[in-house]
Structure 1
Amino acid sequence: MPTLKTRERLSEVRYEIRGELARRARELEAQGRELIKLNIGNPGAFGFRAPEHLQRAIADHIHDTDPYTHQQGLPEAREAIAAHHRDRGTPNASPERVFIGNGVSELIDISLRALLNHGDEVLLPSPDYPLWSAATILNDGRPVYYRCAAEHGFLPDPDEIEALVSPRTRALVLINPNNPTGAVYPRALLERLVAVAAKHRLLLMVDEIYDGVLYDGARFEPLAPLAGDLPCLSFGGLSKVHRACGWRVGWAMLSGDPTACGDFHHAMDLLGALRLCANVPGQFAIQAALDGTDTIGPLCAPGGRLYEARRAVIESCAASEHLQLVAPAGALYAFPGVTGAAAEGFDDHAFALELLETEDVLIVPGSSFNVPYRNHFRVTLLPEPDQLREVFRRIDRVLQRRADAARARGDAHAAVA
């Protein structure tokens, strides 16, 4: 039989978060190995639960969840999202401009499919969350990356972004708070980015799924109020702030001048209708989530589990001669860099595999997030603080072996010379 061919552009798509290393981890678990898996920001896998009032909202409406709903989502859920955005100052926030999807992931794909023609370009951060790159590629677009360098706190330079704009550029994507770096964008920076988008008539697309996950007084600034009449698509959901990943509930709010957004709105609506509707039970938790008690704030405050986990990572990196870290100001991740002798000839994939095989720890190589360097890796902050300290002891053991080997090579070369 001839080989069944697949889409050629899939060869350009990377998603190492659930890729080759994760498959090897499953093989090791099948052999009886106990692994510490830090590759996915999945709160439920680390003992977190969705808040009880969200669970109750679904249970109380389970008898209403059998039929399809409107392709954009339950009217009451969309009204709650619109009200939430009005409270933030989002212009033209109305239920008719809200789209509910099976997680933000589905809505990213739908929105790029609605926007892009073959060869159109999307400005993406580097590092990015790789779904953005994959969705751009699979919808026949071209990712164009702007730097978010560690030496600048992983914040972008608006002038560098503007220099990348071409006649084919259609959108500017922001991830704030950022995955994988934890950077939180200040208002002045966002205003400059809005100005770039306005000058070049770009759609702003902002992934704000971690908007409530903030540390040490970091302030989240929603983009849509700053964008004003400029078309802006703001993504949010229940998976991170409300620890309900498995419910697959995300939303997108389309703001800006309704006339300028009209065709794009109709395209989003059409694509949403083709998949009928999003998961209905989870939509009944949206109003409870947005109007209910803040349950993420205490976890991110001193003494809270996420705060203390972050502290464990920061202190572990500070104590290591092999690691440097820009402390995450938000989100659920840290993005350490390897430095010194251990960084000599460093390959992040080889390191991640060695760490998995020898120390039973699964991480994500930094180059998986579409950066040109190979000396970073991502860990999630979801484990207990003591477990994270143990993880970094294991990481340091591997890095120490690599540093010792690099020094031995240097000594050998010096002796020959």
Structure 2
Amino acid sequence: MKEQQCLHGGEEADESPQNITIKGILGLLMESVDSDDKQVISLGIGDPTVYSCFRATVAAQEAVVDALRCAKFNGYSPTVGLPQTRKAIADYLSNDLPYELSADDVYITAGCTQAIEVALSVLARPGCNILLPKPCFPIYGLCAAFRNIEVRYFDLLSDDGWEVDLHAVEELTDHNTTAMVIINPGNPCGNVYTYQHLEEIAETAKRLGIILIADEVYGHLAFGDNPFVPMGTFGTVAPVLTLGSLSKRWLVPGWRLGWLATTTPDDTFKHAKFVERLKKYSDICGGPATFIQAAVPGIIEGTRDVFFEKNIRLLQQTSDLCYRKMKAISCFSCPSKPQGSMAFMVKLNSYLLKSISDDLDFCFKLAREESVIILPGVAVGLKNWLRITFAAEPSSLEEALERMKSFCERHAR
């Protein structure tokens, strides 16, 4: 197939899974669907709003409508974000921290993707490198490439709940290492780190003299044995930049409201003139729409716990279903049960299948034959793995998994 040739680096294209976005790969997979008989079911992208069981609250919608109708927020906002928005996010984050953040600690961004871009751009310097987990959300590698930052990958240990290989981190770090990224709850792995492991990460970062970038876009979406603990809890041990957004917990990814917070209670970032650089960079990149920013205090205050609890129960139900069904298919190995977020990784044992060469080949043929879309692991840095999104309507998820089972049985050796 032409699409697979592109991604394998064939003559007709110069792109590979390492430098194409998730949306780009999923777009190619959608184009390869070759059946009008079956409805397409996508378990590839983390947008739960595709399914009617995942909906934003009426309170959130009314907050946006009120902000728009009052006609007070049609102009530009301060480049770092509206003061009331920054304060609302600071108060929200402070609820889970052993210290209080101020509005000045928070910078409003157009989703977590822009927060990633801002963090890496401000930290970049000639000859520097950054430590990224493997597997990893690929936007980090793409942003680093645009900023000429060398990327060094440390392994996440699949047999140990996808914990960070701290020994590898120490070996990879040198005087040019500027930061390491920790994604918790994990995307794409579905893990949730323990308090003890996060403390070990912070102690390692302190010893190595590097900044921690804590990607917590799936913050609080934990439903396993480990509760969600923000990395900023250890901000007194090592400097922590916390990235997040409304998108996943409030089920509004299209509203593009994210943040970057300096979750370290001392003056570490101020002494390094980091805040000054943050403000200057904010001047050249626009944030989210002003009326969306203005709605944030109402969204946070108006959302009741019952909304979050319902979504957690549903994610636990669909993750259990996905894990159970995938474990029962012989060509897959599931090293650990999902503990949080909206997706997890399964290993593809392609040697048990005929006419399937690897994870990329598996995904394209699955799309063509069964109209089911999943993400090949190579897109997030792990060849012959698959990322499965379980934030889906249970009936649709079950149908997709049954089609995958039929596909695997049909291709079994």
TM-score (norm 1): 0.88
Find the aligned partners of 2:34 and 2:366 in 1 and give their Cα distance.
Answer: 15
Q: Counterparts of 2:253 and 2:291 in 1: how far apart (Å)?
A: 14
Counterpart amino acid of residue 228 in structure 2:
F
Paired position in structure 1 for 2:19: 14
Match of 2:311 in 1: 299
Distance between the aligned counterparts of 1:31 and 1:390, measured in 2?
16
For each residue in 1:50-84, what CA deviation from the matched residue of structure 2 results, as whole angstroms up to 9, or x when unmatched?
11111111111112221111111111111111112
Q: Compare 94-103 and 280-289 and name the one that shifted more.
A: 280-289
The aligned amino acid for 2:388 is V
Q: Which residue of 2 aligns with 1:60?
A: 66
- Residue in structure 2 matched with residue 317 of structure 1 by the alignment: 326
- The CA deviation string for residues 142-163 of structure 1, in whole angstroms up to 9 with x for no partner, is 1111111221221112222112
Corresponding residue of 1:382:
391
Shift of the 119–90 alpha-carbon distance from structure 1 to 2, 3 Å rule, reads farther
- Alignment of 1:76 onto 2:102: no
Distance 1:216 1:251, change over 3 A: same
Tell me the CA shift for residue 238 of structure 1.
0.8
Separation in 2, partners of 1:177, 1:272: 27
Whether the 8 Å CA contact 2:350–2:384 is kept in 1: the answer is no
Distance in 1, Cα, partners of 2:99 & 2:15: 38
2:410 to 401, 406, 409: 401
In structure 2, what is the Cα distance between the partners aligned to 1:33 and 1:317? Answer: 21
In 2, the alpha carbon distance for the partners of 1:401 and 1:276 equals 50
Q: Could you tell me which residue of structure 2 aligns to residue 107 of structure 1?
A: 115
CA contact (8 A) 1:317 1:323 kept: yes
Contact 1:114 1:271 in 2 (8 A): yes
Partners in 2 of 1:370 and 1:119 — Cα distance? Answer: 23
Q: 1:271 aligns with which of 246, 263, 281?
A: 281
Query: What's 2:380 paired with?
Result: 369
1:244 aligns with 2:252: yes
Distance 1:139 1:385 in 2: 41
1:27, distance to aligned residue in structure 2 (A): 6.4
Contact 1:352/1:363 (8 A) holds in 2: yes
Match for residue 135 of structure 1 among 136, 143, 150 = 143
What is the identity, as a one-letter code, of the residue corresponding to 2:19?
A: R
Higher relative contact order (CA 8 A, sep 6+): 2
Closer, same or farther in 2 for the Cα pair 1:128/1:51, shift >3 Å? same
Note if contact 2:34-2:369 (Cα within 8 Å) is conserved in structure 1.
no
Structure 2 gap segments, 5+ residues each:
1-13
Query: What is the alpha-carbon distance in structure 1 between the residues aligned to residue 349 and residue 384 of structure 2?
Result: 8
Q: Name the CA distance, whole Å, in 2 between partners of 1:277 and 1:395.
A: 40
Q: How does 1:12-411 map to 2 (within 5 A)?
A: 14-26=19-31, 28=33, 34-47=39-52, 48-62=54-68, 63-89=71-97, 91=99, 93-228=101-236, 230-256=238-264, 259-262=267-270, 263-291=273-301, 292-294=303-305, 295-301=307-313, 305-325=314-334, 326-339=336-349, 341-342=351-352, 346-371=357-382, 374-404=383-413
8 Å CA contact retained: 1:22, 1:362: no
The runs of 5 or more residues in structure 1 that have no matched partner are 1-8, 405-417
For 1:83 and 1:31, locate their aligned partners in 2 and report how far apart those are by CA, in whole Å: 50
Distance (whole Å) between structure 2 residues aligned to residue 400 and residue 333 of structure 1: 24
Does structure 2 conserve the Cα–Cα contact (< 8 Å) formed by 1:124 and 1:146? yes
Instruction: Write the letter of the residue equivalent to 2:211.
Output: L
Partner residue in 2 for 1:409: none
Spell out structure 1 runs of 4+ moving beyond 6 A: 9-12, 29-33
CA contact (8 A) 2:67 2:295 kept: no
Distance of aligned partners of 1:192 and 1:73 in 2 relative to their CA distance in 1, 3 Å threshold: same
Distance 1:53 1:287 in 2: 11
**Distance in 1 of aligned mates of 2:132 and 2:82:** 31
Mapped to 2, the partners of 1:10 and 1:270 lie a distance apart of 33
Aligned-partner Cα distance in 2 for 1:16–1:78: 30
Say whether the 8 Å CA contact 1:355–1:398 is kept in structure 2.
yes
Deviations 1:160-187 (A, max 9, x none): 2112111211001000000011010111
- Letter paired with 1:57: A
Q: Which residue of 1 aligns with 2:3?
A: none
- Read off the aligned partner of 1:280 and give its amino acid letter: T
> Please, what TM-score do these two structures have when normalized by structure 2?
0.88
CA–CA separation in structure 1 for the residues paired with 2:38 and 2:402: 19
CA distance in 2, matches of 1:90, 1:102: 28
Whether the 8 Å CA contact 1:100–1:249 is kept in 2: the answer is: yes
Query: 1:379 is matched by which residue type in structure 2?
Result: I
Query: For the Cα contact (< 8 Å) 2:19–2:142, is it kept in 1?
Result: yes
> Residue type matched to 1:17 in 2?
I
- Listed one character per residue, the Cα deviations across residues 232-279 of structure 1 (whole Å, up to 9, x for unaligned) are 110111100000001000011112265431211111111111124432
